[in-house]
Amino acid sequence: MRDAVTSLIKNYDVTGRYLDRNAMDSLKAYYESGTARIAAAAIINANSPDIVRKAGIQLFEEIPELIRPGGNAYTTRRYSACLRDMDYYLRYASYALVAGDPDVLDERVLQGLRETYNSLGVPIGPTVRGIQIMKEMIKEMVTEAGINDPSFVDEPFDHMTR
């Protein structure tokens, strides 16, 4: 698992370069956003059950076929598997936010996920929508907490939806 700093150092090390102006700019941006990243992770930590539950309700309101007979989230077992997956996405997004790097998502969440979902018939489009709903909710909460520019919140969620 890498973070913004170890990723950058690795890139420079493979080519044997000293940290140049670009490196300093990106390090500076990372450190300057550090307090906001930690605040976002704290907000997620304090509200995770609520975020997952509300995002689930919104998702199933937007796409009610999912919880009707024949839908992939139909039956309580699959309904809860879906909310559990949303909880995974949220928790790993909070790690990636603090790390400032999506590596943890590739390694722990996304590896092999498409194949798993395809084999179980879990629809990717609605999953993407569920992740977007959580992103929107968190950006709103981060803004309410007084952070002027919540755009850094996009990174991990957009990485997973891509």
Q: Is 8 in the site for ligand CYC (CB under 6 A)?
A: no
Containing H/E element for 41? helix 34-62
3-state helix, strand, coil in the chain (%, to 5): 80, 0, 20
Q: What are the structure tokens assigned to 38, written together?
A: 């930690």
Q: How far is the CB of 1 from ligand CYC (least distance, A)?
A: 13
Instruction: Kindly indicate which of the ranges 19-27, 31-39, 115-123, 144-152 contains the residues binding ligand CYC, using the contact rule CB under 6 A.
Output: 115-123
Q: What are phi and psi of 10, to 5 degrees?
A: -60, -45
Q: Is 36 in the site for ligand CYC (CB under 6 A)?
A: no
Residue placing its CB nearer to ligand CYC in the complex, 25 or 50: 50
Q: Angle of helix 34-62 relative to helix 21-32, nearest 10 degrees?
A: 70
Query: Is there a contact between 107 and 1 (Cβ–Cβ < 8 Å)?
Result: yes
Region 78-107 residues binding ligand CYC, contact defined as CB under 6 A: 78, 81-82, 85-86, 88
Applying CB under 6 A, among 36, 52, 97, 127 the residue interacting with ligand CYC is: 127
| Footprint on this chain of ligand CYC (rule: CB under 6 A) | 66, 72-73, 78, 81-82, 85-86, 88, 108-109, 113, 116, 120, 122-123, 126-127, 130
